[in-house]
Amino acid sequence: EVQLVESGGGFVQPGGSLRLSCAASGFSLSNHWMTWVRQAPQKGLEWLANITPDGSNINYVDSVKGRFTISRDTSKNLLYLQMNSLRAEDTAVYFCGRHRGPDLWGQGTQVTVSP
Amino acid sequence: DIQMTQSPSSLSASVGDRVTITCRASQAISSSLAWYQQQPGKAPKSLIYAASSLQNGVPSKFTGSGSGTDFTLTISSLQPEDFATYYCQQYYSYPFTFGPGTKVDIK
């Protein structure tokens, strides 16, 4: 079955770090653009970052640039989002998606940043 | 950054109605536009890519059109499962940006 499953969310204090994972099945990450998107409580969708199929090009929204890092392990077919220096405003559900305008989405993982 | 706007922000409709949602980009984005449907508490679902191409498995009652700066999503014959929030997204220029959403609820 073709699917994406996120994990790694949780509760963290401001300034802390988390690493989110996105497990892909039914297709290879090395053949597709991959994307991270988040949704704050009762808010709309916010595009965060993407990575090209060969991993050579990465792009971020300014609000996370320098704090978040997108990466992947093609041998494990895993996409990651390393999140450092977390702030209260990073509290959201984080989704991974396939393609630049994602055609396939994971179910999301909740990240809560609070003292 | 390219700003995406949607109108209306919300609408009430009845089962069987035809509804149209508009998305406008602050600058031309060719046809690099996608539409998504999101049910409460669920992940978004892709409906349309490249402004007018239907994703596999999406019913033909969903129609996308437009290019440049102005786009529309039309849902013909609204069904109970179509009551949701709809988002447009441009993937022409970084950072890729979403519209604020249009909530479609039951009249």
The predicted-structure confidence for A83-106, as pLDDT tens digits, reads as follows: 999 999 999 999 999 998 899 999
Over the Cα atoms of chain B, what is R_g? 13
Contact between residue A104 and residue A2 where contact means Cβ atoms under 8 Å apart:
yes
pLDDT of residue B12: 96
Alpha-carbon separation of residue B107 from A23, A36, A68, B20, B86 (angstroms): 40, 34, 42, 15, 17
Residues above pLDDT 90, as percent of chain B: 98
Whether residue B89 and residue A61 make contact (CB cut-off 8 A), yes or no, is no
Contact between residue A33 and residue A99 where contact means Cβ atoms under 8 Å apart:
yes
Q: What angle do CA A53, A43, B29 make, to 5 degrees?
A: 50
Name the burial class of residue A53, with classes exposed (0-12), middle (13-18) and buried (19+) by CB atoms within 10 angstroms of its CB.
middle
Mean pLDDT (whole number) for B74-80: 95
pLDDT tens digits, one per residue of A49-71: 999 999 999 999 999 999 999 99
Whether residue B94 and residue A45 make contact (CB cut-off 8 A), yes or no, is no
Contact between residue B87 and residue B71 where contact means Cβ atoms under 8 Å apart:
no
Look at the block and give the residue holding tokens 């940043």: A113
Q: Which two tokens stand for residue A110?
A: 């909740």
User: Which residues of chain B approach chain A closer than 8 Å at the C-beta?
Assistant: 32-34, 36, 38, 43-46, 49, 55, 87, 89, 91, 94-101
User: Which residues of chain A approach chain B closer than 8 Å at the C-beta?
Assistant: 35, 37, 44-47, 50, 59-62, 95, 99-108
pLDDT of residue B43: 98
pLDDT tens digits, one per residue of B17-41: 999 999 999 999 999 999 999 999 9
C-alpha A73/C-alpha A79 separation (Å) is 6
Residues above pLDDT 70, as percent of chain A: 100
**Which is nearest to B101 in space by CA: B87, B83, B90, B91?**
B87
* Reported confidence tier of residue B107, pLDDT bands at 50, 70, 90: confident
Distance to chain A for B18, nearest Cα, Å:
24
